[in-house]
Structure 1
Amino acid sequence: MLDSFNLAEAAARARVMATALALGRSLDLWSLALAALALAGLLWLTLPLTASVGLLLSILAGVGHKIFALRVAFDAALFHHWAEKWSSDGAEGRDPNALATDLTVFDRALADCGLATPGGDVVRDLNSRLRGAARLLKLQVLAVAIQFAAVAVAMVAVLLSRAG
């Protein structure tokens, strides 16, 4: 079922989500730094097993993070585009079905590019797209948190092995 938002409401929601998703760029930089630290530790240090496992887990979480980061960046650009488009279209008094038309055209384009399975006549509404984008951002945050925790465990393991 499609939302019954007017274009101004849809533009505002898209703008808020685009702004939230833009935070994913900072997370991506942190993830890259943590992955580089973990890789450097694995390559240049003789480590206890616990530390090595922690650093390896951090690198694996970084790979998972990158997958989420790419999707978040795609969605951020998309929601930014929609916010700009719907803001300008709303001012022109565009037809009331514009939102549904834009979402349908987008879904078809995704399917035509091989980036989604064709859904027939089923079109996801704006709210479900917003929830999906927020879920991806949360998964990206979780992946960075796992990376950080794994590096912290590795550091503690190194400190404990050297103290004992």
Structure 2
Amino acid sequence: MSIDMQLQVTASLLRRGDSLDRLSTGLTLLGALLGLSQFVLSNPGVWGVTCGSGLLVLGLWQKYWAVRVAFDADLFQHLAQRAANLDERTQALDQALTALNLQPADRSDRPWNQRIAGALTLLRRQALLVAAQVLLTLVFIFAGPWLAVAG
């Protein structure tokens, strides 16, 4: 597979992070509402505050990875569209990232397969955090009524 097609496919995969981010944003808002509702009630439950706080923390952590994934998606898309002189563009990219302190100078000149693998690792981290949010939400939905009865 040519490098321009690899860059294009990678950019397309990384753009899926936007869907994950939207789901996570909804779950984070749910966590915020859940946490706030516990304080509005006269008897705030530890379970609700814990789940709400967990959803908030996971959501903010996911948001960090979402920003990084979106940044990489834009870079890969830009480079895929102009892959004719990729070596020159790669050097220019490395210089720009180093100048903005977004990449250490010793990480320049990495092959594209390592860059692609690194970008996909960021997407996996983002997906794992969203999965943790979904799992915590499901635990709260299914275990919450029993915990409320148990006291």
What TM-score does the superposition give when structure 1 sets the normalisation length?
0.81
Query: In the alignment, which residue of structure 2 is the partner of 1:12?
Result: 5
Asked whether the 8 Å contact 2:65–2:122 carries over to 1, the reply is: yes
| 1:103 Cα deviation from its structure 2 partner | 1.5
Q: Which runs of 5+ in 1 are unaligned?
A: 1-7, 90-97
Pick the aligned partner of 2:55 from 41, 53, 58: 58
Pick the aligned partner of 1:83 from 73, 80, 85: 80
Distance 1:33 1:124 in 2: 37
The letter for the 1-side match of 2:36 is: L
1:14-163 aligned within 5 A: 14-45=7-38, 46=41, 47-86=44-83, 89=84, 98-119=85-106, 122-163=108-149
1:119 is paired with a residue whose SS is helix
Distance 2:50 2:135 in 1: 12
Distance 1:137 1:60 in 2: 18
| 1:163 Cα deviation from its structure 2 partner | 4.1
Query: In the alignment, which residue of structure 2 is the partner of 1:5?
Result: none
Distance 2:15 2:126 in 1: 12
Distance 1:18 1:52 in 2: 38
| Aligned residue pair count | 146
Distance 2:134 2:53 in 1: 12
The letter for the 2-side match of 1:103 is: T
Asked whether the 8 Å contact 1:52–1:154 carries over to 2, the reply is: no
Q: Which runs of 5+ in 2 are unaligned?
A: none
Structure 1 residues 86-132: Cα deviation after superposition (integer angstroms, max 9, x where no partner)? 1xx2xxxxxxxx33332222111111112122228x51110001000
| 1:69 Cα deviation from its structure 2 partner | 0.2
Distance 2:81 2:17 in 1: 20
2:79 is paired with a residue whose SS is helix
Greater mean alpha carbon deviation, residues 13-22 or residues 41-50: 41-50
1:152 is paired with a residue whose SS is helix
Q: Which has the higher helix share?
A: 2
Over the matched positions of the two proteins, sequence identity in percent amounts to 29
Distance 2:136 2:55 in 1: 5
| 1:52 Cα deviation from its structure 2 partner | 2.2
Aligned-pair Cα RMSD in Å: 1.8
